Chains A and B, each alone.
Chain A
Amino acid sequence: MTQGGRARGTDRRTFLKTAGAVAGTAVAAGFPAALRAQAPTVKIGTLHCVTGPLAEPGQACRLGAQMAADAVNAAGGIKSMGGAKIELILGDTQTKADVARAEAERLINAGAQILMGTFNSGDTAAVVPVAQQRRVPFLVDISAADPITANVAKSVRDGQQKVQYVYRNFPTGTLFGQRAVQYFTEIFKEAGVSPKRVVVMHANDLFGQNQARGFQAAHKAANPSWEIVEVISWPEPPSDLSTEVSRAKAAKPDVIAPITRPASAQLLLPEIVKQRLDIMGIVGPGSPGLYEAGQIAALKENLEYVMASNPWPNFKNPRTRQVSEEYAKRSGGKTFDTNSGYSYDGIFVLADTLERAKSTDPDTVVDALKKTRFTGGLMVYGGPVIFNEMGDNPNAIPAMIQILGQKPVVVWPKDVAAEKVVFPRPKR
């Protein structure tokens, strides 16, 4: 095949093709976003990873957001703005940072005045500069990596940026760790037992590592009566966890603390049973894979009595139960949980902010956001939704959920518990 060196006489074709492609792209992408529509709608760009390896939680987030928007509109929209309806413009990050960035721009181009998303911390970080550059308020509904807001707060403090446009209504990795250690200690005390040896087993991906580190750091700071004797991780997704579980067994654990994803949980839990680990229980510091409807269906009795400290909807609130039923219908039987719940609450937080801001001007919205004291959320919170100087909500807390009777229920803290915690787990 001989090409090359003959670029001369045919550049016209290439040029026309190039120009055509550019023009075509311009038409398809739309020239500068034209006049924003008057009164009736507020456009919120909703950006999640609905395809790619994290498609399952991404799709849950999107559905949660859509349901919330429908609910807000059904109740009359943003009353202080003449009943303006919320319109969601949907975006897919494909679980890739560069796509996330391009999608954020596309949504803003299509008229989005506020952004919400994206679930995966790595992709969320790629959207942050867009929010700062274009001055678009960005509410992170789910992403635990501390730097996402901390970096922006720092650059505002250092005077490199004027205004912080990025806010997060979700626990940070640090907060997850602190609460997990706290719940572990409290639950052991409540059960009247003192397990000494805890083995942490975690997926070696972004979330898993972040959680594991946060848990270990919090443990060191709190110095409770139980020790983390070993930390075992695996590449996610794993094909085989038999050696990892063998290693855990060799460390003579009283409690296994797993941080998984759905795929690894499906391998880990049966393996723990197969290798006959003699433990008081499986208590997770917080991760997916241990409570979803699909996981319960796949793991059945292997998941019974397993606990995980996750952000969870507060089912003591009758509204939550209603929404959860509707969610089950619209999603084909899935549980209303961490992801769908926080995306749902995210839209409501934004609606509340807009009510107070009475406008979509970015700086006005940010001012109103900073002053938020929202109590209408469906999740378990430690207080009203507020935003601190980092832009995070310190009242967004996880709760310890346990699979009892093949259903996930909140068992700790006591004031939001639906049932009594079962620990140690009964012998088979």
Chain B
Amino acid sequence: MDLTLVGQGLLSGFLFGGVYSLMAVGLTLIFGVMRVVNFAHGDMMVWGMYLAWLLSTRAGIDPYVGFIVCAAALFLFGLMIQRGLVERIVDAPHEMQILLMLGVALVLENAALVAFGPDPARVRSPLSQATVWMGPIFVDVARLVTFGLAMALTAALWLFLARTDLGRSMRAAADNPYGARVIGTDVRKVYAAAFGVGAACVGAAGALVSPILPFQPTSGLGLSVTSFNIVIIGGMGSLPGAFAGGILVSVAESMGAVFLSPSMKELVSFGLLIAILLFRPAGLFGKTAG
């Protein structure tokens, strides 16, 4: 076996894990707090990417700066969705929740198609082609930066949940909504904030990932499926889980591409998912509550 290839595969896979982690963080927060499965996750992220693209092409703002705007825009969107739609079906059967978010996903995907057209787009950033070589192995600078940002974002979110009042209320509501109400927490407001913050993460992720991944209006589904994989493997509702899960899935896929055939690399991540579901459904870092 070509050791250079394996080494490069490990390194590339590891760094790309940062991208995957970013994708998963917003999803795990929303599910962890509200137990809502956001099937529109991927499509929201695509909108984050398109907003970053707009900022880059129309206003010359680099996505590594513009992501704040994307986060803010999607925060508002998340609030709207939560207050306007999700809240109203909180007592309805699970399948209705699924249908609702599927409807939202459909609207988002085709609104993007109408607004931006069907061509794949990518944001150019000065880092796009930068590489650092260490002998026969190279480091993709853009991915290294994204990896660092993923860590930073996860850490920031962690601090938010641990140190701020709103964050602590979210964790309380996640653990025990009834108990949280009993002690006076405005659970409705907490849920809205959770969805908003989760959406903001998704928006930021989209912006930060837009120089690396070409995207089209129809990219949403693939992103959703990958994100769900990562979140289950890492543990629903766990931030370190989303981070570790992202890296694990990425490395596994990369090794699958090296040792098997690259077109079968998805089998590796799905196989991993099934294994986790069967033997440790709470995920690597999740609390065993099932």
Contact = CB atoms under 8 A, between A and B. Distances in A.
Taking the complex as a whole, does A directly touch B, i.e. does some CB pair lie under 8 Å apart? yes
Interface of A: 1, 51-53, 55-56, 59, 204, 232-235, 237, 239-240, 242-244, 246-247, 250, 262-263, 266-267, 270, 273-276, 292, 294, 298
A240 B9 CA distance: 11
With most chain B CB atoms within 10 A of its CB, the pick from A56, A204, A232, A243 is A243
Given A235-B266, A262-B119, A247 B258 contact: yes
B184 interface: no
With most chain B CB atoms within 10 A of its CB, the pick from A52, A235, A240, A266 is A240
B5 A247 contact: yes
A237 B5 contact: no
A246 B9 contact: yes
B213 A239 contact: yes
B214 A263 contact: yes
A273 B12 contact: no
B160 interface: no
Interface string B45-60: 0000000000000000
Interface string B240-262: 00000000001001100110011
Contacts of B129: 270, 273-274
A262 B258 contact: no
Nearest to A55: B118
A53 B250 CA distance: 25
B117 interface: yes
A266 B226 contact: no
Per DSSP, are chain A's interface residues mostly helix, strand or loop, or mixed? helix
Contacts of B261: 232-233
Contacts, number: 100
B94 to A, nearest CB: 11
A239 B224 CA distance: 13
A242 B222 CA distance: 19
Contacts of B131: 274-275
22 contacts: A1-B93, A51-B110, A56-B117, A233-B263, A234-B262, A239-B16, A240-B253, A240-B254, A243-B12, A243-B257, A243-B262, A246-B5, A250-B2, A250-B4, A267-B214, A270-B129, A274-B138, A294-B119, A294-B120, A298-B121, A298-B122, A298-B124
Given A270-B129, A275-B138, A247 B120 contact: no
A252 to B, nearest CB: 11
Contacts of B262: 232-235, 243-244, 247
Interface string B75-95: 000000000000000000100
Interface string B201-224: 000000000000111111100100
Given A234-B263, A243-B258, A274-B131, A53 B216 contact: yes
A274 B117 CA distance: 29
B228 to A, nearest CB: 15
A403 B257 CA distance: 31
With most chain B CB atoms within 10 A of its CB, the pick from A59, A247, A276 is A247
Contacts of B2: 250
B118 A235 contact: no
Contacts of B138: 274-276
Given A235-B265, A239-B226, A270-B128, A52 B218 contact: yes
A1 B217 CA distance: 37
